[in-house]
Structure formats: structure tokens, C-alpha cells
Structure 1
Amino acid sequence: MRAGSLLKPLAAVAFLPLLACGDAADDGRPKPKPAEMQARIASPGTKVGEAPLSLARVSTKSGEILILEPDGSVTEMDLGSPAGRDAFAVTEADLAALNANLDLDLGGLVAASVPDRQTAQEKALEEFAARAQPALPALREGAEIAPEMFIAAKVDALGDTNGLVEVTANLRQGVDADIAFSYATCALAGWADRNGAAYGRHIRTLQAERNGKLLIGSAFTMSQDKPLGLRVMETEQTLQDCRARGIPVA
């Protein structure tokens, strides 16, 4: 900065800590005022990040202002001169610009490599998702699926408004529990497809043996929006998985 291109009216002047007049010396007398004080000054009306602060020294005796420019040069002016008064003049427009620049947008101050911190809610949802299981259980190694395993299945709606349904499935005795549950879920997916239900959230499954057969009773709540749940049946995807495994749908 040169005398002909001095700072525009400044939006902010930040003075470094100075010795207060009331500070006392070791002998109890007030310490003399410093010969200079330092300040950082910045011009308004520029974009964030494009106006680096300049370092200035103000002489408390002569009233001179020494401004250290970004290029290393020093600009001198008298504090009482028109240029010196202009350097520290603040207009209402400058104050408005300063207020706008004080908005809490700290994006430019955060290193790009630093990851965002998770909120407690986001962390809880992530942990919940990690515990979630697919609609059809993974089959144990060596498990085989044969059509004669599956005898019959039906879906009953338990009420008109709460979306609660129960799936009853009959299978051959000795069928693996995961295959039995998959059969009940596939039966539900077929029913949901016919009745326009997009999702089913598993609530509980009961298993018993009766008359030489394996009896499965599974309860689900149906919805159009994907619910939170540890095991959620998505109709279209589940139908594809059932057909791929060779499990019939009701």
C-alpha cells in the first residue's frame, strides 16, 4: 500500500494486548506507556479470504502509523493527517459488511481432510443399521432347499388400520429354522405384492411341531414407507431373493 492507494475505510481494527494505564511497576508506580502499539487492520468490501490482515504499528509519541504491507514494504502516515483519519474511519456500510462477514460460516476454516463429527443421533442410527439383518436369513453352508419342504402358508390381517399381519406356514418336520422363517417371509412378500404393501417389519416368530409338521407363526407390521427395524422385508427385493433361492411365495 502506498500513500496514493491507502486502505479504504476499515471495517475492523484489532489491537494486540497493551499495557493498561492502571498496571503497576514493581515499585508500585504506574508503568510508563509503551512507545508503540501494534494493530491488525483489514479493508472491507472484499470477499472472504481475499483481504489478509495487515500489521500496523502506531507510535504513541509522534502519532505516526507504520503499516506493514503483504509484500513486505512499510507505509508511513501520520495519525492526525487526513490519510491517517481515513484509515481508521468506519462507516455504517462498513459496519454492515463486517456484520455480514461475522456469520457462522466456518467452512473455509476447516481443513478438507478433517471428517465431519457425527451427531449422537447419527451415531445411534449407524449402530442400529449395523445390527440390522436382511429379510431372508443367510443359509448355513451346505443347506439345500427342496420343493417338498414347503406344505402351505397363509397371511391374515389382524385389524384394519394398524397394518399388523400374521403369517402361518407349515413345513416338513426337521426343516432348518432359517429356511422355515424364509418361507414365511416369502409368503408375506407374495401377499404384500398383491395388496400393494411396500414394506413389512418383523415383530416376532414362534415355532412349534404339530402332527409331524413344523409350524411357523410370524407377525409383521406393513407400511408404505421403510420403517426402522432389525429385520425389514422390502417386497420387490424379497420376491427376487425368494425366486432365486427356490422358495415359493403365497
Structure 2
Amino acid sequence: MTTVPRSIHLTVMAAFGAVALAGCEPLAATPDGRPKAKPAQMVAQVAAPGQKAGDATLTRARISTKSGEILILEEDGSVTTMDLDSPEGQDAFTISEADLAALNANLDLDFGGLVAASLPKEKTAQEKALEAFAARSEPALPTLREDLVVDPAQFIAAKVEPMNRGRATDLVEVTANLRQGVDADIAFSYATCALAGWAKENGTPYGRHIRTLQAERNGKLLIGSAFILSQDKPLGLRVMETEETLRECRARGIPAA
């Protein structure tokens, strides 16, 4: 018995797959209504491996349905015979990742799901959405224009009050009074700095901005900013990190009380 070269393993695999599919088709009935006898051999033609798609020659393979022998017609005209349950037959159907990759190259097939188990897991739609949302996040303090001048006299007073008394204090409002005509970004920064100072005294590391209202009253600019406090960093378009915000407030000359 001749051992089948490794180069034809993929051909044998393809032939066996074609035969298996052919065997699933129902046999035509004889005139007396009985099904025809099972054929002694099944024949398949497959593309020989190692050539470009469209240029491959066809190799004939026959499988005995009774003895379990495989007969393969080689390119040189010789016939290779083996038993399905023999070591050679079992080895012929042993398919490695390299074999599948070669078949992919020859027949332009996609076996990515079979041989690429080590590839990184694709991100879910939720993970992609969270990343996109995080990319939109901005610093706690808005970026000031270069021509803006921060004058300590602009800041009059600020206070922080809980908005959900009787429960855990996690929703607060910062009310800040400034001189009339102060830039809106400076006004919001003042309210955020006041919150950072209050949060440090109360041991709160984070505050997520909810909304800010602005009005002018009695010749003053009035700012009302609401924040939700938390011990863990929350998702949000603008999140106040207490220690980092306090450092930025000092660098800009904005009071935190």
C-alpha cells in the first residue's frame, strides 16, 4: 500500500466532503418501488492543491462504499489505495491550520473563523458606544480664551447646597455670584472650583455636571450649577475630579471657596 503524500491531504478531505454530501441524496426507486442498491463506489473530482484559483487541474478520487477503501488518481496516472481506518487513511484526514491556510490561498476561501481563534475579540456595540461617549468628555474646567483676564475682584461668593436632603447627599447645587459682565466660562469655572473645595472637605472625589443656569440679578451675574457626586469616576461629558480640579483652579487663580 502506498502512503499518500501530505500534499494531497486537502484533496482527500474535499473529495470525502463531496461524497458525503452526495450520499445524503435519496436514491431513485426501481420499477417495483424498491430503492436502488447502494453504488459500490462514489466518484468525485476536486481541484489539485498548490495552484492558483482557476488554474488548478482536477484530480479524481473514488471511495468504496463497501470496503472503505480510498482510491486516488495521482497526476502521474498512478492510483493510490488506502483503507479509511488505516493509519495512513486517518492521517490523510488530519487537517492542520497550515493545511486550511493553504486551501484558503488555493481556493480563495475564508477560514478565519476556524483557524484564527487567537485573534483579539471584536468589541461589542455597547463597548464601541461607551468608547465613543468617553471620547467626547471634556475637562472639568472649560478652556479659557487667551485674551481673558482672571481678576480676583470678579468673584463675590459661592455656596454648595444638597438638593436631596434626608437621603444620601449625592445631588448638589452650586450657587455662585460674580460681577456683572464676567465671561461665562470664568463663571462656570468659579462654580466648579467652589464644588471642588467643598467636595474635598466632605471626602468626595468626583462630581458629574448635570446642568448650569445663568441669570443677572441686582447688577450681579448669578450661576446655578447642579452636580451628582460619587466615589467612583462616572461617565459624563464633564466630570469634576476633586484633586485635579483644585490644582487647576489654583493655577488659574480662581478661588475654591
Distance 1:23 1:117, change over 3 A: farther
| Matched-pair contact (CA < 8 Å) for 1:154–1:167 | yes
CA distance in structure 1 between the aligned counterparts of 2:192 and 2:133, rounded to whole angstroms: 22
Instruction: Give the TM-score normalised by the residue count of structure 2.
Output: 0.62
Residue identity over aligned pairs, in percent, reads: 59
Match of 1:204 among 199, 208, 211: 211
| Matched-pair contact (CA < 8 Å) for 1:208–1:216 | yes
Question: Cα distance, 1:76 vs. partner?
Answer: 2.9
Amino acid at match of 1:207: Q
Aligned to 2:64: 60
Matched, 1:140 2:140: no
| Matched-pair contact (CA < 8 Å) for 1:37–1:60 | no
CA distance in structure 1 between the aligned counterparts of 2:118 and 2:86, rounded to whole angstroms: 36
CA distance in structure 2 between the aligned counterparts of 1:236 and 1:67, rounded to whole angstroms: 76
CA distance in structure 1 between the aligned counterparts of 2:135 and 2:250, rounded to whole angstroms: 26
Distance 1:89 1:186, change over 3 A: same
Question: Cα distance, 1:130 vs. partner?
Answer: 3.5
Aligned to 2:17: 15
Matched, 1:214 2:221: yes
Across the two proteins, how many residue pairs are aligned to each other? 201
Aligned to 1:226: 233
Larger helix share, 1 or 2: 2
Match of 2:179 among 158, 172, 176: 172
| Matched-pair contact (CA < 8 Å) for 2:64–2:70 | no
Instruction: Give the TM-score normalised by the residue count of structure 1.
Output: 0.63
Gaps of 5+ in 2: 4-14, 30-35, 47-58, 91-111
Aligned to 1:49: none
Helix, strand or coil at the partner of 1:134: coil
Helix, strand or coil at the partner of 1:216: strand
| Matched-pair contact (CA < 8 Å) for 1:183–1:248 | yes
Q: Which stretch of structure 1 is more off in the superposition, 169-178 or 152-161?
A: 152-161
Aligned to 1:182: 189
Aligned to 2:252: 245
CA distance in structure 1 between the aligned counterparts of 2:143 and 2:186, rounded to whole angstroms: 9
Amino acid at match of 2:64: T
Distance 1:215 1:61, change over 3 A: closer
CA distance in structure 2 between the aligned counterparts of 1:127 and 1:85, rounded to whole angstroms: 56
Question: Cα distance, 1:224 vs. partner?
Answer: 0.3
Helix, strand or coil at the partner of 2:22: coil
| Matched-pair contact (CA < 8 Å) for 1:15–1:38 | no
Amino acid at match of 2:213: L
Matched, 1:153 2:158: yes
| Matched-pair contact (CA < 8 Å) for 1:205–1:218 | yes
Question: Cα distance, 1:183 vs. partner?
Answer: 0.4
Helix, strand or coil at the partner of 2:247: helix
CA distance in structure 1 between the aligned counterparts of 2:232 and 2:63, rounded to whole angstroms: 71
CA distance in structure 2 between the aligned counterparts of 1:149 and 1:241, rounded to whole angstroms: 18
Amino acid at match of 1:126: E
| Matched-pair contact (CA < 8 Å) for 1:199–1:222 | yes
Aligned to 2:6: none
| Matched-pair contact (CA < 8 Å) for 1:15–1:39 | no
CA RMSD in angstroms, aligned pairs only: 4.2
